[in-house]
């Protein structure tokens, strides 16, 4: 009976090790990850900006078709390509980056189509307010990185949300509250 229990225990630990090995963790590459956004400017034009400092992790369990995404954005790294707008956007009446220095996105669930993740339901924390935001994954691919010699995954994800829902109300209702978010991300396997 002891031999049978030992074999069962070894098989169970092998199954557990195999299941654990199926989960891959990736660290976001800050040099290839720049969340960007588009927002209305009085109906005249569309202002585009990006955040230049991003960190986080991605976990993928391809066999289980699950995973997790945690992105941390330095709100002070906002860049519209115009210094005067960058300075204004950081002030209390818009993003108040002194009070709210981080923008955070945390996944709740990842949806797969076949073997490819295609959307992420999560929560965006912006300006101290947390609300659900679903990211659509428009493109996803993993390859062996030619320089680092380890797997790297990249994606293009997008979403649309109402900035007023997050307390960013400067210019409303003259400016449209709709913001289009686009995230280009690359992450290296740990």
As a whole number of Å, the end-to-end CA separation of the chain is 41
Q: What is the mean pLDDT of residues 148-175?
A: 95
CB-based contact 28:185 (threshold 8 Å) = yes
> For the whole model, what pTM was predicted?
0.85
What is the pLDDT, as a whole number, of residue 22?
82
- Cα–Cα nearest to 156, from 133, 181, 185, 113: 185
Q: Name the more confident of 12 and 24.
A: 24
Per DSSP (E only), the strands in 52-90 are 54-61, 66-74, 78-79
Tokens of 188: 């290296």
User: What value does the mean pLDDT take over residues 179-186?
Assistant: 95
Q: What does the alpha-carbon distance between residue 92 and residue 9 come to, in Å, rounded to a whole number? A: 60
Query: pLDDT tens digit string along 66-122?
Result: 999 999 999 999 999 999 999 999 999 999 999 999 999 999 999 999 999 999 999
Asked if residue 1 has pLDDT above 60, the reply is: no
Q: Quick one: which of 46, 27, 44 has its CA closest to 36? A: 46
Is residue 147 scored above 70 in pLDDT?
yes
8 pLDDT more than 60:
no
pLDDT at 24: 96
Averaged pLDDT, 114-136? 97
**Domains of the chain, each with CATH number or no CATH:** 22-189 (2.40.128.110)
Strands 102-113 and 78-79: unpaired
């Amino acid at each position: 009976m002891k031999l049978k229990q030992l074999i069962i225990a070894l098989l169970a630990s092998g199954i557990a090790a195999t299941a654990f090995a199926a989960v891959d963790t990736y660290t976001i590459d800050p040099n290839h990850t720049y969340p960007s956004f588009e927002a209305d400017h009085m109906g005249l034009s569309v202002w585009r900006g990006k955040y230049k400092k991003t960190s986080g992790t991605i976990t993928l369990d391809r066999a289980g078709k699950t995973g997790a995404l945690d992105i941390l954005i330095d709100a002070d790294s906002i860049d519209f390509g115009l210094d005067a707008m960058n300075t204004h956007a950081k002030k209390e009446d818009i993003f108040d980056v002194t009070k709210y220095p981080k923008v955070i996105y945390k996944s709740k669930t990842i949806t797969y189509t076949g073997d490819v993740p295609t959307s992420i339901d999560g929560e965006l924390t912006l300006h101290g307010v947390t609300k659900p935001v679903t990211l659509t994954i428009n493109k996803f691919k993993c390859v062996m990185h030619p320089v680092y010699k380890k797997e790297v995954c990249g994606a293009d994800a997008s979403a649309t949300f109402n900035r007023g829902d997050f307390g960013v109300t400067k210019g409303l209702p003259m400016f449209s509250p709709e913001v289009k978010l686009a995230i280009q991300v690359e992450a290296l396997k740990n």
